[in-house]
């Protein structure tokens, strides 16, 4: 695991977008794992700008999202399919047939989860997985004590409150979701986790510098052979080894083109 600290949230987003764009240009049929949430909106806006201004080509890319709510149809504004269409898929030249999310409306959720894993393998696995981190330290919806493979998972009260602070009075909020498992994420060839803002500082410190534990699923990324954690100064506030992380970015050849 490498930790890269950028001064501002916008700088962290720019670096994340540049890594994704470089990977896509190098391999046009990239298998890209995608995340949702407020932090990722700026990343997708940047990728759309690269498509519009620089010709970043998504036509051969294939994507797999980390998760989807159970019980929300794709046209529901709170579903992650709706989110991805709105923020990325409908704004670039990607083939929607190559964009995959778990089916939260499946009659047989377990069978749908198994099929999702098979589809990932049929595409040769995920080349680059974009990740955020939730308030409980989760990646995807891998709440504390999560398992290894794609499956249905009960959401924690903290996650529900974070994602649905103002629930719709008539439909309530989803209490379960389908998520890629920790093991599925660890099999991705590269992982890039983006976290910004002081509200993420405590959980970032636990995930990066704390013990590897099922109570903080993001801590499993410490075991990944090629994982980059990109944070702004606010999200890095509680890290103990910040001088070393800054040294990495300033001195490692891998980061020279991004400096």
- Residue 162's domain is classified under what CATH number? 3.40.50.1360
Half-sphere exposure of 251 (CA within 13 A, CB side): 7
Residue 103 φ/ψ, nearest 5 degrees: -95, 100
DSSP 8-state code for residue 68: E
Domain count, the chain: 1
pLDDT at 66: 98
pLDDT at 156: 87
- Examine residue 122 and state whether it is found in any structural domain, yes or no: yes
Nearest partner of 15 among 216, 213, 211, 256, judged by Cα = 256
pLDDT at 172: 76
Q: Give kind and range of the element (H or E) at residue 113.
A: helix 109-122
Residue 2 φ/ψ, nearest 5 degrees: -115, 145
Instruction: List the domain range (segments joined by +) for residue 48.
Output: 2-254
- Examine residue 232 and state whether it is found in any structural domain, yes or no: yes
pLDDT along the chain (259 residues), means of 10: 97 98 98 97 98 98 98 95 98 98 97 97 98 94 87 90 72 89 97 98 98 96 97 98 96 94
Q: Are 209 and 202 contacting, i.e. CB atoms less than 8 angstroms apart?
A: no
Distance CA(171)–CA(162), nearest Å, equals: 17
pLDDT at 225: 96
Distance CA(156)–CA(153), nearest Å, equals: 9
pLDDT at 105: 97
Six token digits for residue 242: 């910040």
pLDDT at 169: 55
Q: Residue 139: helix, strand or coil by DSSP?
A: coil
pLDDT at 147: 76
- Kindly report the pTM of this predicted structure: 0.95
Q: Which residues contact 98 (CB under 8 A, 6 or more apart)?
A: 60, 61, 62, 63
Q: Residue 32: helix, strand or coil by DSSP?
A: strand
pLDDT at 162: 85
Handedness of CA 19, 201, 83, 107 (dihedral sign): positive
Q: Residue 151: helix, strand or coil by DSSP?
A: strand
96 burial (CB, 10 Å; 0-12 / 13-18 / 19+) is: exposed
- Examine residue 259 and state whether it is found in any structural domain, yes or no: no
* DSSP line for 167-232: -BTTTB---EEEE--HHHHHTSSEEEEEE-SGGGHHHHHHHHHS--BTTBGGGGGGG-SSEEEEEE
């Amino acid at each position: 695991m490498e930790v890269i600290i950028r001064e501002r949230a916008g700088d962290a987003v720019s670096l994340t977008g540049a890594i994704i764009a470089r990977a896509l240009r190098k391999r046009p049929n990239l298998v890209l794992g995608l995340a949702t949430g407020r932090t990722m909106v700026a990343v997708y806006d940047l990728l759309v700008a690269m498509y519009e201004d620089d010709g970043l080509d998504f036509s051969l890319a294939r994507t797999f999202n980390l998760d989807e709510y159970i019980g929300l149809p794709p046209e529901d504004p709170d579903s992650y399919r709706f989110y991805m269409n709105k923020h990325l898929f409908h704004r670039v030249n990607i083939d929607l047939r190559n964009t995959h999310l778990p089916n939260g409306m499946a009659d047989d959720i377990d069978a749908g989860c198994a099929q999702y894993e098979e589809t990932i393998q049929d595409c040769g696995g995920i080349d680059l997985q974009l990740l955020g981190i939730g308030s409980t330290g989760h990646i995807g919806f891998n709440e504390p004590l999560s398992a290894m493979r794609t499956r249905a998972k009960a959401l924690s009260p903290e996650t529900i409150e974070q994602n649905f602070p103002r629930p719709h009075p008539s439909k309530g909020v989803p209490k379960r979701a389908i998520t890629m498992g920790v093991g599925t994420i660890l099999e991705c060839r590269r992982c890039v986790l983006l976290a910004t803002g002081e509200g993420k500082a405590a959980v970032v410190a636990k995930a990066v510098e704390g013990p590897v534990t099922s109570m903080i699923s993001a801590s499993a990324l410490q075991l990944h052979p090629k994982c980059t954690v990109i944070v702004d100064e606010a999200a890095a506030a509680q890290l103990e080894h910040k001088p070393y992380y800054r040294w990495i970015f300033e001195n490692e050849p891998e980061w020279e083109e991004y400096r």
